[in-house]
């Protein structure tokens, strides 16, 4: 058998269920890889091997007694360090919360445990899931950023330290790290995964999401987490939210695909056109380039207004009352929200609906949109997590997106192909994304 930590989550879950692999062996392989790569990658802020192995042993014992605990039975998952766990610290990437021990699990942690998952540890986040980087490095080249804010969640999956992880996106924090690290990253429709027990950065924009090494794995964990929770007041209903069912549906016609550049393209690297051209050639007659201007030109500024006003509201007191424990970059970002007037914020929130309506009309003619997953390869240096321009519009509008690890930049580092779906059509988007992936 393949070395256990190289298995996808779907493969590992099947191997455990059929008795070809134990959860303990899988956990041991993942921990060994994480410890081996601690200095080179640094994906974990909290990793307790004894606790992880105890969970795995409990899973193996349950299976020996004929009890299947659920779709993730015995499979390890990493959680971003802004998601509460009762048995592990949750420090929000900040010295201000050092040693914090939540009294209860977040809804995400509770659902994972109920599905039989082993919560392996807490992954590195930027401070407050904003932009002050943690210790994590890009597993493809440690001189380059892994992206952020879900830095450790993406790097841990990319480096085969864990098959699945949970991150979050408020600007570009799920899809950019996935693009930089060369894995699948899924940001579902806004309100699909509960944020109860998760640090709030900007309520209208905060999206939990998942990292994996295959589309099937995304569906596996997505169906566990995309459950209505009254504890999160912003949760939405999704009539097509059954991801695995959507992937198993009979194949229909190839999707109609629109390639869009949008207002973010001017921030892309010079080589991005050439990189994307290769993808368009592969997709041939199934893709058309579609102009994205007009109301879309204001999307990035609109997202910035909504985000930074909320950031100031949520962490402004920390910056003011505990200035010595909050990092300089966090102070700088929070301060940028001070000049946003109430009427500007209201206009931005209302204009978001105008942009959303225009985007929805595009889906009358196309099944999915595609664009680059980031402005280019992961930048060199660890002082920044990169430019979030290529994710901001989709975060603002709350539509589902997934990045496919299919492209390479001039230095051989990954660039994701980002697939964007219609609001609340997450399953359809994943099915079309898998078709796109198969063309390569």
Taking the C-alpha atoms of residue 91 and residue 83, their distance in angstroms, rounded to an integer, is 9
Taking the C-alpha atoms of residue 68 and residue 225, their distance in angstroms, rounded to an integer, is 18
* DSSP calls for 247-308: HHSPP-SPPPEEE---GGGGGS-TTHHHHHHHHHHHHGGGEEE----GGGGGHHHHHHHHHH
Are the beta carbons of 322 and 96 closer than 8 angstroms?
A: yes
Share of the chain above pLDDT 70, in %: 99
113, containing H or E segment: helix 107-114
* Predicted local distance difference test score (pLDDT) of residue 252: 85
Q: What share of the chain is helix, strand, coil (3-state, %, to 5)?
A: 45, 15, 40
**Which regions of 98-150 does DSSP assign to beta strands (E)?**
118-123
Residue spans of the domains in the chain: they are: 4-247
* Predicted local distance difference test score (pLDDT) of residue 225: 96
| Residue 66 pLDDT > 70 | yes
Query: Of 90, 87, 99, nearest to 58 (Cα)?
Result: 87
Q: Which fold has domain 4-247?
A: Amidase signature (AS) enzymes (3.90.1300)
Catalytic entry in 94, 173, 179, 192: 173
CA quadruple 315, 188, 158, 86: dihedral sign: positive
β-partners of residue 403 are 185, 418
- 374-407 pLDDT tens trace: 999 999 999 999 999 999 999 999 999 999 999 9
Q: What's the burial of 20, exposed, middle or buried (CB within 10 Å: 0-12/13-18/19+)?
A: exposed
pTM for this prediction: 0.98
Are the beta carbons of 245 and 430 closer than 8 angstroms?
A: no
* Predicted local distance difference test score (pLDDT) of residue 384: 97
Average pLDDT value for residue range 12-35: 98
| Residue 240 pLDDT > 80 | no
Average pLDDT value for residue range 195-199: 98
β-partners of residue 368 are 257
Q: Predicted confidence band at 137 (pLDDT cuts at 50, 70, 90)?
A: very high
| Residue 337 pLDDT > 80 | yes
Catalytic entry in 149, 153, 192, 194: 149
The two tokens of residue 391 are 């994710």
Task: Look up 80 and say whether it is catalytic.
Answer: yes
- 71-117 pLDDT tens trace: 999 999 999 999 999 999 999 999 999 999 999 999 999 999 999 99
């Amino acid at each position: 058998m393949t070395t256990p930590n190289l298995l996808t989550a779907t493969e590992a879950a099947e191997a455990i269920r059929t008795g070809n692999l134990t959860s303990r062996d899988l956990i041991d392989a993942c921990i060994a890889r994480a410890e081996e790569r601690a200095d080179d990658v640094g994906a974990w802020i909290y990793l307790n091997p004894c606790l992880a192995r105890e969970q795995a042993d409990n899973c193996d014992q349950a299976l020996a007694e004929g009890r299947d605990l659920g779709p993730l039975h015995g499979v390890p998952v990493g959680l971003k360090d802004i998601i509460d766990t009762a048995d592990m610290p949750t420090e929000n990437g900040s010295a201000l919360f050092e040693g914090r021990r939540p009294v209860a699990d977040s809804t995400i942690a509770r659902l994972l445990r109920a599905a039989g998952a082993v919560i392996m540890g807490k992954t590195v986040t930027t401070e407050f899931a904003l932009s002050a980087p943690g210790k994590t490095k890009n597993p493809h080249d440690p001189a380059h950023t892994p992206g952020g804010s879900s830095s450790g969640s993406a790097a841990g999956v990319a480096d085969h330290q864990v098959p699945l992880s949970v991150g979050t996106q408020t600007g570009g924090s799920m899809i950019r790290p996935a693009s930089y690290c060369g894995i699948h990253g899924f940001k579902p429709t806004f309100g699909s995964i509960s944020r109860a027990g998760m640090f709030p950065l900007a309520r209208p924009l905060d999206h939990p999401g998942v990292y994996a090494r295959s589309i099937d794995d995304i569906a596996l964990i997505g169906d566990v987490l995309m459950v209505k929770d009254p504890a999160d007041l912003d949760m939405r209903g999704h009539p097509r939210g059954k991801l695995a069912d959507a992937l198993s549906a009979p194949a229909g016609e190839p999707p109609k695909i629109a390639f869009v550049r949008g207002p973010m393209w001017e921030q892309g690297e010079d080589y991005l056109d050439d990189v994307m051209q290769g993808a368009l050639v592969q997709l041939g007659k199934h893709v058309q380039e579609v102009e994205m201007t007009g109301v879309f030109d204001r999307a990035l500024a609109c997202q910035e207004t909504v985000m930074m006003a909320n950031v100031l509201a949520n962490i402004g007191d920390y910056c003011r009352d505990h200035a010595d424990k909050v990092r300089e970059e966090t102070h700088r970002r929070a301060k940028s929200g001070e000049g946003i007037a109430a009427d500007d914020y209201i206009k931005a929130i209302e204009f978001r609906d105008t942009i959303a309506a225009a985007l929805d009309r595009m889906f009358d003619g196309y099944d999915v949109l595609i664009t680059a997953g980031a402005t280019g390869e992961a930048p060199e240096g660890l002082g920044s997590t990169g430019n979030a321009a290529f994710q901001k519009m989709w975060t603002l509008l709350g539509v589902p997106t997934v990045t496919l690890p299919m492209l390479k930049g001039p230095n051989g580092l990954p660039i994701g192909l980002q697939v964007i779906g219609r609001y609340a059509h997450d399953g359809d988007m994943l099915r079309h994304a898998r078709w796109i992936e198969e063309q390569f």
